[in-house]
Protein backbone atom coordinates (compact mmCIF):
# COMPACT_ATOMS: atom_id res chain seq x y z
CA UNK A 1 0.00 0.00 0.00
CA UNK A 2 2.85 2.39 0.85
CA UNK A 3 4.48 1.64 -2.50
CA UNK A 4 1.23 2.39 -4.31
CA UNK A 5 0.79 5.70 -2.47
CA UNK A 6 4.41 6.64 -3.19
CA UNK A 7 3.96 5.88 -6.89
CA UNK A 8 0.73 7.92 -7.08
CA UNK A 9 2.40 10.84 -5.29
CA UNK A 10 5.39 10.74 -7.64
CA UNK A 11 3.10 10.66 -10.67
CA UNK A 12 1.14 13.66 -9.37
CA UNK A 13 4.39 15.62 -8.87
CA UNK A 14 5.49 14.90 -12.44
CA UNK A 15 2.09 15.86 -13.89
CA UNK A 16 1.92 19.11 -11.90
CA UNK A 17 5.46 20.14 -12.83
CA UNK A 18 4.81 19.50 -16.52
CA UNK A 19 1.51 21.37 -16.48
CA UNK A 20 3.12 24.42 -14.85
CA UNK A 21 6.08 24.64 -17.23
CA UNK A 22 5.99 26.50 -20.55
CA UNK A 23 5.52 24.03 -23.37
CA UNK A 24 8.46 23.79 -25.75
CA UNK A 25 7.81 24.23 -29.45
CA UNK A 26 4.78 26.52 -29.12
CA UNK A 27 4.47 29.64 -31.25
CA UNK A 28 5.03 32.93 -29.42
CA UNK A 29 4.93 36.61 -30.36
CA UNK A 30 7.49 39.09 -29.15
CA UNK A 31 7.91 42.85 -29.20
CA UNK A 32 10.39 43.75 -31.93
CA UNK A 33 13.45 45.56 -30.52
CA UNK A 34 15.78 44.63 -33.37
CA UNK A 35 15.23 47.97 -35.12
CA UNK A 36 16.79 49.92 -32.24
CA UNK A 37 20.53 50.70 -32.30
CA UNK A 38 22.36 48.39 -29.90
CA UNK A 39 25.76 47.10 -28.86
CA UNK A 40 26.62 43.61 -27.63
CA UNK A 41 29.57 41.44 -26.74
CA UNK A 42 29.86 38.54 -29.17
CA UNK A 43 31.54 35.17 -29.23
CA UNK A 44 31.95 33.77 -32.73
CA UNK A 45 32.50 30.16 -33.72
CA UNK A 46 32.95 29.78 -37.47
CA UNK A 47 34.22 26.33 -38.46
CA UNK A 48 37.73 26.28 -36.89
CA UNK A 49 37.80 30.03 -36.19
CA UNK A 50 36.94 31.35 -32.72
CA UNK A 51 36.76 35.09 -32.13
CA UNK A 52 35.50 37.54 -29.54
CA UNK A 53 34.62 41.18 -29.77
CA UNK A 54 31.89 43.80 -29.72
CA UNK A 55 29.28 44.46 -32.37
CA UNK A 56 27.23 47.61 -32.93
CA UNK A 57 24.05 47.95 -34.92
CA UNK A 58 23.77 51.67 -35.63
CA UNK A 59 20.89 51.43 -38.06
CA UNK A 60 19.63 49.68 -41.14
CA UNK A 61 22.66 48.34 -43.05
CA UNK A 62 24.99 50.29 -40.77
CA UNK A 63 27.04 48.05 -38.45
CA UNK A 64 30.45 47.88 -36.81
CA UNK A 65 32.41 44.98 -35.35
CA UNK A 66 35.58 45.30 -33.30
CA UNK A 67 37.61 42.23 -32.35
CA UNK A 68 39.57 41.40 -29.20
CA UNK A 69 40.71 37.93 -30.28
CA UNK A 70 42.31 35.97 -31.90
CA UNK A 71 45.66 37.74 -32.33
CA UNK A 72 45.22 37.92 -36.11
CA UNK A 73 42.05 40.02 -35.63
CA UNK A 74 42.71 41.75 -32.31
CA UNK A 75 42.16 45.50 -32.70
CA UNK A 76 40.65 45.20 -36.18
CA UNK A 77 37.41 47.13 -36.70
CA UNK A 78 35.10 46.40 -39.61
CA UNK A 79 32.55 49.04 -40.60
CA UNK A 80 29.57 48.21 -42.82
CA UNK A 81 27.68 51.10 -44.42
CA UNK A 82 25.29 50.35 -47.27
CA UNK A 83 27.40 48.16 -49.62
CA UNK A 84 30.74 49.55 -48.44
CA UNK A 85 33.01 47.64 -46.04
CA UNK A 86 35.93 49.40 -44.36
CA UNK A 87 38.63 48.03 -42.08
CA UNK A 88 40.74 49.95 -39.59
CA UNK A 89 43.41 49.14 -37.01
CA UNK A 90 44.49 51.68 -34.39
CA UNK A 91 43.41 54.59 -36.57
CA UNK A 92 44.85 53.23 -39.83
CA UNK A 93 42.38 52.47 -42.62
CA UNK A 94 43.05 49.65 -45.05
CA UNK A 95 41.31 47.06 -47.20
CA UNK A 96 39.70 44.11 -45.48
CA UNK A 97 42.52 41.75 -44.39
CA UNK A 98 42.49 38.15 -45.60
CA UNK A 99 42.08 36.86 -42.04
CA UNK A 100 38.87 38.92 -41.72
CA UNK A 101 37.22 37.75 -44.95
CA UNK A 102 35.29 34.84 -43.35
CA UNK A 103 34.17 37.16 -40.53
CA UNK A 104 33.07 39.77 -43.11
CA UNK A 105 30.79 37.20 -44.76
CA UNK A 106 29.48 36.12 -41.36
CA UNK A 107 28.56 39.66 -40.33
CA UNK A 108 26.97 40.32 -43.72
CA UNK A 109 24.65 37.34 -43.14
CA UNK A 110 23.87 38.55 -39.61
CA UNK A 111 23.10 42.04 -40.94
CA UNK A 112 20.74 40.70 -43.60
CA UNK A 113 18.83 38.57 -41.11
CA UNK A 114 18.49 41.22 -38.39
CA UNK A 115 17.76 44.14 -40.73
CA UNK A 116 15.01 42.21 -42.53
CA UNK A 117 13.43 41.14 -39.23
CA UNK A 118 13.75 44.68 -37.83
CA UNK A 119 11.31 45.88 -40.49
CA UNK A 120 8.52 43.71 -39.07
CA UNK A 121 6.08 45.17 -36.52
CA UNK A 122 6.06 42.01 -34.40
CA UNK A 123 8.22 38.90 -34.31
CA UNK A 124 6.82 35.39 -34.27
CA UNK A 125 8.91 32.37 -33.39
CA UNK A 126 9.06 29.05 -31.59
CA UNK A 127 9.42 28.91 -27.80
CA UNK A 128 12.42 26.85 -26.72
CA UNK A 129 13.78 26.77 -23.16
CA UNK A 130 12.88 30.39 -22.45
CA UNK A 131 14.07 31.73 -25.79
CA UNK A 132 12.16 32.54 -28.97
CA UNK A 133 13.72 31.02 -32.08
CA UNK A 134 13.08 32.57 -35.49
CA UNK A 135 14.10 30.68 -38.61
CA UNK A 136 14.70 32.07 -42.05
CA UNK A 137 16.66 31.72 -45.25
CA UNK A 138 19.30 33.94 -46.83
CA UNK A 139 21.33 33.71 -50.02
CA UNK A 140 24.14 32.37 -47.81
CA UNK A 141 21.94 29.62 -46.31
CA UNK A 142 19.33 28.93 -43.65
CA UNK A 143 19.61 30.62 -40.27
CA UNK A 144 18.15 30.55 -36.78
CA UNK A 145 18.01 33.67 -34.61
CA UNK A 146 17.07 33.38 -30.94
CA UNK A 147 15.87 36.19 -28.66
CA UNK A 148 15.54 36.26 -24.89
CA UNK A 149 12.34 37.13 -23.02
CA UNK A 150 13.02 40.88 -23.38
CA UNK A 151 13.47 40.60 -27.13
CA UNK A 152 17.26 40.98 -26.99
CA UNK A 153 19.36 39.11 -29.53
CA UNK A 154 20.88 35.96 -27.99
CA UNK A 155 22.27 33.70 -30.73
CA UNK A 156 22.60 33.61 -34.50
CA UNK A 157 23.28 30.28 -36.16
CA UNK A 158 23.82 29.03 -39.70
CA UNK A 159 24.39 25.28 -39.24
CA UNK A 160 25.27 24.60 -42.89
CA UNK A 161 28.02 27.24 -42.61
CA UNK A 162 29.24 25.91 -39.24
CA UNK A 163 28.52 29.33 -37.76
CA UNK A 164 27.27 30.26 -34.30
CA UNK A 165 27.43 33.72 -32.71
CA UNK A 166 26.45 34.15 -29.07
CA UNK A 167 25.62 37.64 -27.78
CA UNK A 168 25.75 39.01 -24.23
CA UNK A 169 25.59 42.38 -22.44
CA UNK A 170 23.14 43.76 -25.00
CA UNK A 171 22.68 47.51 -24.54
CA UNK A 172 20.49 49.88 -26.51
CA UNK A 173 22.37 52.99 -27.56
CA UNK A 174 21.58 56.47 -28.83
CA UNK A 175 23.24 56.82 -32.18
CA UNK A 176 23.34 59.74 -34.59
CA UNK A 177 25.48 59.36 -37.74
CA UNK A 178 28.45 61.70 -38.00
CA UNK A 179 28.61 64.15 -40.94
CA UNK A 180 31.28 61.94 -42.56
CA UNK A 181 29.03 58.86 -42.30
CA UNK A 182 26.07 60.80 -43.71
CA UNK A 183 28.21 61.97 -46.64
CA UNK A 184 29.53 58.45 -47.27
CA UNK A 185 26.00 57.05 -47.23
CA UNK A 186 24.79 59.77 -49.61
CA UNK A 187 27.69 59.13 -52.01
CA UNK A 188 27.03 55.38 -51.92
CA UNK A 189 23.37 55.99 -52.70
CA UNK A 190 24.24 58.35 -55.57
CA UNK A 191 26.72 55.84 -57.05
CA UNK A 192 24.12 53.07 -56.82
CA UNK A 193 21.44 55.26 -58.40
CA UNK A 194 23.75 56.38 -61.22
CA UNK A 195 24.83 52.80 -61.91
CA UNK A 196 21.18 51.71 -62.05
CA UNK A 197 20.26 54.47 -64.48
CA UNK A 198 23.15 53.76 -66.84
CA UNK A 199 22.43 49.99 -67.09
DSSP code string of 73-141 = TTTEEEEEETTEEEEEETTEEESPPGGGHHHHHHHHHHHHHHHHHHTSSEEEEEEETTEEEEEEEETTE
Tell me the pLDDT tens digit for each residue of 11-28.
Answer: 333 333 333 334 556 887
Q: Please give the class, per CATH, of domain 25-173.
A: mainly beta
| Domain chopping of the chain, boundaries | 25-173
- Give yes or no for residue 193 having a pLDDT over 60: no
How much is the pTM? 0.74
Residue 60 has pLDDT above 80, yes or no: yes
Q: Rounded to an integer, what distance in angstroms lies between the CA atom of residue 98 and that of residue 126?
A: 37
Return the H-helix or E-strand segment holding 60: none
Amino acid sequence: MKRLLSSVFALLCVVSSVSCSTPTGTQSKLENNLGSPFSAKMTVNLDKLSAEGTIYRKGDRCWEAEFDSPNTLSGVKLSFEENIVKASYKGLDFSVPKSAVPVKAMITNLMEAVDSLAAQEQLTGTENEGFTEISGSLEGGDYSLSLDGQGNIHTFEMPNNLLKITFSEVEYINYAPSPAETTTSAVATEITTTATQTT
